[in-house]
Chains A and B, each alone.
Chain A
Amino acid sequence: MAAEEERTEPARATDMPAEEADWGSVTLDARILLIEDDRETAIEIMKDLAGYGYSVVHVDTANEGLRSARTGSFNLLIVDRMLPDFDGLSLIKMLRAEHVAVPVLFLSALGGVDERVRGLRAGGDDYLAKPFALTELAARAEALLRRPAESRETVLRVGPLELDLIDRVARRKNREIELLPREFKLLEYMMRRPSRVVTRDMLLEQVWNYASAPHTNLVDVHIGKLRRKIDIDGEVPLFYNVRGIGFILRVPE
């Protein structure tokens, strides 16, 4: 349904500068362990992630995954839920019991809301239902690799933009921006992840706590509204639309 709506109402946020090619150039020195039993899927994922500069190691059974993960040399595990020898959930439970704290992203053909909850309870940090867009996976992998540190900052800053978390006020230069509570939350989420792609699904999950994304173009509408408050005529735009993927908040060079 979402896809169809996107087609008929092309890019809600067209008034936003679109950015295409240069996302993904941000390289990050990280090692990722991919535990996935379908080789073709694994090859595509590896190709894609390697394009972002990650080094990816692939294993196709839970046992091998367990052995590799125990070495502690990975920054992220991408784990398929259903593996030939045993369940990905049990694998992560075992690792968590051994105090292996590496971030875990589950991939699963089980898309039910309950399954997602089970995955997160077992110690996963994110859960992506198959089929997924490779860009969605990359964006989420990046989000997990660069998880914002628990900061004690009370004011977030991105270029000229300032968000006071105590007084609940947003300012651009000296202009005060009136925000609704949800807009505030949305901006806070984006400002904690500057220069990084956030996908529509990530925003729905994180800002709206909406597990089963129903109408993703709603996010575009909300972002568009927020953007019109932040980037007004004559100002350097801070919001960018990465077509087909999501949004970036950043200060252009």
Chain B
Amino acid sequence: MSPSELLRSTTFRLASALAGLFGASTLLIFAFIYWQTAGSETRRIEQLIAYDAKTEAAEPRDMVERFVTTKVTQDFHHLTYAALFDAKGRRIAGDLEAMPADLPVDGQVHVTRVVPPGNGGPEVETVRAVARRLDDGSFLVIGRNSEELERLREEVARALELGLAPAILLSLATGFLLTWRASARLKEVNDAAERIMLGQLRERLPVHGSGDDFDRLSVIVNRMLDEIERLLDEIKGTGDEIAHDLRTPLTRVRARLENARRKRAPVEELEAAIDKAMIGLDQALAIITALLRIREIEAGRRRSGFSEIDIAEVVAGAEELYQPLAEDRHIGLTLHLDPVKPFYGDRDLLFELVGNLIDNALKFTPSGGAVTVSLSDGRGGRVLRIADNGPGIPEDERARVLVRFYRSARDQQIAGVGLGLSLAAAIAKLHDVRIVFGDAEPGCIVELHFDNAVRRAGAAVAGRPAGTAIAPTPAQ
């Protein structure tokens, strides 16, 4: 990792911010301690000198002089100053050159500047001092410098140095370590992602099993990748099937046209060849149209046409449309409609769904058979049941009949591009309608369950042991 990457990494920034915050709060604490300590020290000093001044001022003059002299001679460190001046401000005793000009003579402690006795030059010092007038008109000045406070400040600074610097260094080091670890994980993920992007779709992000944030994120991404891989496989499969199903009619068209062209056939034959070619092209176009429709519906963009509709009316309409076809094929198409509560959906699409299922049932029912369409509202909710007495769908093929282009072996001899049921499945999925296949012994039962609550309850195919539920849910 380059230094600039390090500086940009979130972990490192967080660690730095934390170190900064830690430093600032330590500083604050020390400042507070210093402020408290210095304050009480100052007050102590002030009380002391004010008391000294007051006590001495009450003494006789010679006692005061002695006090001043003693204080000066005993104070090697020049911590305190004491001096006695006559009424005109001339020094009588003590270690101050002159009366501080701005010091009020009021017995209170003031901060003032004094010139200490000549050990070189007029070095001015800031002190706390108190001045009092004695009975004979002379002045007593007692002062004290702030060296202790200085020392205190130094102590605090040293404590800070010893405490704060290692703390900041420690947090920076921790930050660096965390960043390094995170970036190592990031690199792993990045490498895996690179490989996936290069086409190794089976690759997954590493999961260390520690359950940390990275693991959790990786698990989510991996699940997403699983789904993408599944979809890609599906698309690829569908693509192959589309290509195959388009290739068949197109190959036929091409062969017919080529033959007709080469044979110098008479006009009628040419016309027949063209007619057949056009039928072949129409078929290819019908496949494309149907696929586009399925895609449109699957994309779920068709919800704009949703409204409260009467399923019974839709079913009756579909039955009416298909009745003549049933009559033509000598199949009894009967309808049983119970009144049901309105359903929220797209009328045209549901019509198409029901129509497709009826069409399918008619297709697989032999002449003289029967197709029964019944709508009921029972304990399982609103159910539309379409039963035929044709050959039925083998149990192991039931899940597959809704998959695009799938045609079971049983209908090899029956025409159709196999998209009707895929379309039905797409419409059902859009409406959250569940399609269940069952056995009518003989024949096939297709049920549409309009009440999604049933699915959520998991009571999928109760009472219909041979049934197969195709729940229209994404991402299993």
Contact = CB atoms under 8 A, between A and B. Distances in A.
Q: Do A and B bind?
A: yes
Interface of A: 1-8, 12, 111-114, 129, 131, 180, 182, 208, 210-212, 214-215, 217-218, 221-222, 224-225, 244
Given A182-B320, A218-B321, A1 B279 contact: no
B283 A3 contact: yes
A210 B347 CA distance: 10
A37 to B, nearest CB: 21
A220 B256 CA distance: 27
A35 B282 CA distance: 25
Contact of B348 (A113, A217, A221, A225): A113
Contacts of B328: 12, 221, 224
Contacts of B327: 225
Contact of A222 (B282, B285, B324): B324
Contacts of A114: 301-302, 304-305
Contacts of A221: 324-325, 328
Contacts of B348: 113, 210-212
B324 A214 contact: no
Interface string B409-423: 000000111011000
B417 A7 contact: no
24 contacts: A1-B286, A1-B287, A1-B420, A3-B283, A3-B285, A3-B286, A4-B417, A5-B415, A5-B416, A8-B415, A12-B328, A112-B293, A114-B302, A114-B305, A131-B285, A210-B351, A212-B293, A215-B359, A217-B325, A218-B324, A221-B328, A224-B324, A225-B324, A225-B327
A7 B285 contact: no
A218 B322 contact: yes
A3 B279 contact: yes
A180 B420 CA distance: 28
A210 B325 CA distance: 17
A78 to B, nearest CB: 20
Contacts of A6: 279
Interface of B: 275, 279, 282-283, 285-287, 289-290, 292-293, 296, 301-302, 304-305, 320-322, 324-325, 327-328, 348, 351-352, 355-356, 359, 415-417, 419-420
Contacts of A218: 321-322, 324-325
A1 B322 contact: no
Contacts of B282: 2-3
A4 B413 CA distance: 12
A16 B419 CA distance: 31
A131 B285 CA distance: 8
Nearest to A209: B348
Contact of B275 (A12, A131, A244): A244
B292 A111 contact: yes
A214 B419 CA distance: 11
Contact of B356 (A210, A211, A214, A222): A214
A130 to B, nearest CB: 9
A73 B293 CA distance: 38
Contacts of A111: 289, 292
A4 B286 contact: yes
Contacts of B275: 244
A4 B283 contact: yes
**Quick one: which of B305, B324, B356, B417 has the most chain A CB within 10 A?**
B324
Contacts of A224: 324, 328
Contacts of A113: 302, 305, 348
A111 B292 CA distance: 9
A232 to B, nearest CB: 17
Contacts of B301: 114
Given A4-B286, A131-B285, A212-B348, 19 more contacts: A1-B290, A1-B416, A1-B417, A1-B420, A3-B279, A3-B282, A3-B283, A3-B285, A4-B416, A7-B415, A129-B289, A180-B320, A214-B352, A214-B359, A214-B420, A218-B325, A221-B324, A224-B328, A225-B324
A87 B355 CA distance: 35
A133 B26 CA distance: 86
A210 B305 CA distance: 14
A7 B355 contact: no
Nearest to B347: A209
A20 to B, nearest CB: 11
Contacts of A208: 321
B327 to A, nearest CB: 7
Contacts of A131: 285
